[in-house]
Structure 1
């Protein structure tokens, strides 16, 4: 009797179980949700034009309106610093190997101006970590070009005023390190092996390396006689920028030149120089060629074809330069 009563109840449980089991087969049991793998965030591509322009503007703006710091160091100041604090500096001699071998500043490393600087950019950045890099050439002009490019690449750099100079460089017999009769050595210093230092901008590094790898025979400079002849025959092919102080420009300048004083004014006028010089070559000149060299290189990496006038406009006590030869036209 009891069995009969229980049978219907047991049947009900069996049927219910089958139904539940059937539902479980058609709908998989829920599982604890897992977070999808995080998407790899790719850094936005660097805007090379913006990066280079920003670095160039910063370079000139950081001088301040009085332009007390023109990224150069006087010969005596460098000698005093190397005597007192040699560990705070690294000297990079960018002259040719034969000139370096004849005599250079003690501890200076020879990386000749041109493609060798591009090849050694990472090494230069590494050896200059926490130090000031000093660049020395023959007269200061190619050192100026190197100086400005290394600075925008994040390497604290100054160029040696008037370069190594000396009797081997006409017009610099009493100028520069050698002209001041400061000591030199002939023993070479090899490039040290030190840990790499991260670059602040791949775009700027590539632009700097391109500048040196594609170095023309004239080293982005134009000689005085060539400029004189060009202004007679094809003046319309050049856009001349005088980066001297306004008062010196007013006293006399090359015919057709526009005055954009070295410093923040160049930063403000980057685009106007670019627009006004379309289809032309910019020629920049200063007093002796050094600050023009700095300007020259930075305009080039910004996309403005530029050369600096070799030895500049000239100045009192300097036997080179445009104004030193009375046959070269000077206007007011």
Structure 2
């Protein structure tokens, strides 16, 4: 009887062992967090093109109003000024609240409670556009940035542009060319996102919060001009403007750029630099790429900072100058 019992136990143990072995040998590979997050962003209307222009057709940036429309403008927005306290104290827009960049998500919630879209203001519009993209991805989809920042509000605050452009570092530089765009490569690798959640909404929340904590990621033009091979560079221009203005040697031309189609053309192993005309659109794109796990940077002042006196500017908008300074009043 004892032998029979042992035999029965053995017969029961063998299939259990077999099944266990099968389970261990057929582990299902986990979906990368990048893929989960990318798919969630695309499916929920937060791809890059939807951050640039939201579902209501509102662009990420809005220009200063005409003087006759000032009161309507001030009544419409919950105004967030993210400049340093001394700059804010010297002059600011009536009703603006001075906060640190790191508090933009909290103020987005306050703007929502107030029933107004948030308007983010910085010195030249670049950091504010970066903040706007992050706020839109966080759910504050009607957030906008003031175009040109305080530099476009009044002559007294235009110095950030006037003091930083005009040196034309690209002019005559050996790494500046008018050649056609190189073929855009394809990559099988994607960024590694070191988070545990498998929820797209949770991953997005965590990644936006991390991007806010990291702050605006920008790079100066001379660094990229000196060593373009150290970066993966995207010139966010039309084909005609890419060759017409000229471009940094080796720069690709991915425009439009979306998570649904273009992430396979971005190198996750390099610092990705995007540049546009002013640094404002590239700031939005850079914010979105950082949320998705890329090491992305916006080129400060864009083409204005690279080649301000380029003859191709004739007839092209977004060339910084006095025509963009609205001459509006400050708070008393």
TM-score normalised according to structure 2 size: 0.62
2:330 is matched with: none
Work out whether residues 134 and 158 of structure 1, in 8 Å CA contact, stay in contact via their aligned partners in 2: yes
Distance 1:273 1:55, change over 3 A: farther
Distance 1:69 1:246, change over 3 A: farther
Q: 1:304 aligns with which of 277, 294, 299?
A: 294
2:161 is matched with: 172
Where 1:151 maps in the other structure, the secondary structure is helix
Q: 1:260, 1:157 → 2: CA distance?
A: 25
Distance 1:58 1:161, change over 3 A: same
Gap regions ≥5 residues in structure 1: 1-45, 175-199, 315-320, 327-332
Q: 2:240, 2:260 → 1: CA distance?
A: 19
Within 5 A, what are the aligned runs for 1:225-304?
A: 225-231=222-228, 235=229, 237-251=230-244, 252-261=246-255, 263=256, 265-274=257-266, 277-304=267-294
Work out whether residues 47 and 260 of structure 2, in 8 Å CA contact, stay in contact via their aligned partners in 1: no
Where 1:105 maps in the other structure, the secondary structure is coil
Work out whether residues 47 and 258 of structure 2, in 8 Å CA contact, stay in contact via their aligned partners in 1: no
Q: 2:263, 2:290 → 1: CA distance?
A: 13
Distance 1:248 1:224, change over 3 A: same
Distance 1:123 1:133, change over 3 A: closer
Q: 1:271, 1:161 → 2: CA distance?
A: 28
Where 1:293 maps in the other structure, the secondary structure is helix
1:124 to partner: Cα distance? 2.1
Q: 1:213, 1:311 → 2: CA distance?
A: 23
1:53 to partner: Cα distance? 4.8
Deviation track 1:161-216 (CA, whole Å, cap 9, x = no partner) reads 10001455546359xxxxxxxxxxxxxxxxxxxxxxxxx9443232111112123x
Deviation track 1:87-132 (CA, whole Å, cap 9, x = no partner) reads 431111111111111111111111222x333xxx244223234322
Which of structures 1 and 2 has the larger relative contact order (alpha carbons within 8 angstroms, sep 6+)?
A: 2
Q: 2:303 aligns with which of 308, 313, 320?
A: 313
Distance 1:70 1:85, change over 3 A: closer
Work out whether residues 279 and 300 of structure 2, in 8 Å CA contact, stay in contact via their aligned partners in 1: yes
Distance 1:110 1:205, change over 3 A: farther
1:125 is matched with: 109
For the aligned residue pairs, the C-alpha RMSD in angstroms reads 2.9
Count the aligned residue pairs. 231
Q: 1:296, 1:160 → 2: CA distance?
A: 18
Work out whether residues 123 and 160 of structure 2, in 8 Å CA contact, stay in contact via their aligned partners in 1: no
Deviation track 1:246-290 (CA, whole Å, cap 9, x = no partner) reads 3211312221111122x5x4345432233xx13111000000100
Higher mean displacement: 147-156 or 82-91:
82-91
Which one has a bigger Cα radius of gyration? 1
Q: 2:290, 2:44 → 1: CA distance?
A: 13
Where 2:161 maps in the other structure, the secondary structure is coil
Work out whether residues 51 and 60 of structure 2, in 8 Å CA contact, stay in contact via their aligned partners in 1: no
TM-score normalised according to structure 1 size: 0.62
Gap regions ≥5 residues in structure 2: 1-32, 164-199, 311-332
2:103 is matched with: 116
Where 1:298 maps in the other structure, the secondary structure is helix
Where 1:75 maps in the other structure, the secondary structure is coil
Q: 2:107, 2:58 → 1: CA distance?
A: 26
Where 1:244 maps in the other structure, the secondary structure is coil
Within 5 A, what are the aligned runs for 1:89-100?
A: 89-100=77-88
